[in-house]
Amino acid sequence: MLTCYDATFAHVLDAAGVDVILIGDSLGMVCQGRRDTLPVSMDDMVYHTACVARGNQGAWLIADMPFGSYQGQRDDAITNAVRLIKAGAHMVKLEGGGWTADLVRALVERGIPVCGHLGFTPQSVHSLGGYRVQGRDEAGVNRLRAEASALAEAGADMLVFELMPAEVARSVTQGLPIPVIGIGAGSGVNGQVLVLHDMLNLTAGRMPRYVKDFTEGSANIQSAVRRYVEDVKEGRFPNDLVHGY
């Protein structure tokens, strides 16, 4: 999985063999130059989802539900998820555990596939005290395990685990009936996701430690993406010892 925000890159990623494209609310930082993802609107997500859908042929498309689009009334959250599906997404992604299980169930009952997101959740950056690895103690691991199980039971078809020790992500993944995609969570999950601009070394400022520059030694962008796909599928990426910012 890689993030993508426009039709041109969607075509490149799809042709390079990326299985899943995520239209991430990271577009707030990558495309809009913001400090975090919180200001991204539903209109932003619908626009970029439609752009990516037009450039894609075969990859599975997941669109992030932005901050504020599902934290309020359930009917509003359902309406917002429907907008993303109509724009071309095959699945929506929302962050957090606990209360989100009921919303996942409501969406799935209405025919909307859902991907959950646990560990470090960027939309909760302020309440988490910054970009911090999650699941460092027994209580944190138990909470992650319980929340992941609840989301799976509610009908989520996929989960993203972000910023957690590799052994924790591996252990929790092994107890789940659904696939887990990791980012900064080691190799013991079922797949990996990176922000496209990070792995192409286009991101200004500090780069997360778990990111690898796939342009080094690659002839062009498509070959860099192909290397990423191959390294993930062959188990050469990521490094289990690197999972933080």
Q: Which residues are catalytic?
A: 162
Who contacts 89 (Cβ-Cβ below 8 Å, separation ≥6)? 23, 49, 53, 61, 62, 63
Peptide bond into 113 cis (omega under 30): no
At what angle are helices 7-15 and 221-233 packed, to 10 degrees? 50
The beta strand positions in 103-173, using DSSP E, are 114-119, 158-162
What does the alpha-carbon distance between residue 16 and residue 227 come to, in Å, rounded to a whole number?
A: 9
- Alpha-carbon distance values, 64 to 50, 81, 135, 218 (Å): 13, 9, 23, 30
Neighbours of 145 (CB within 10 A): 17
- Secondary structure (3-state) at 14: helix
Three-state DSSP class for 232? helix
CA separation for the pair 3, 25 (Å, rounded): 9
The three-state secondary structure class of 24 is coil
Q: How far is CA 99 from CA 79, 116, 151, 166, in A?
A: 18, 12, 10, 26
Q: How far apart are CA 79 and CA 201, in angstroms?
A: 36
How far is it, in rounded angstroms, from Cα 125 to Cα 51? 28
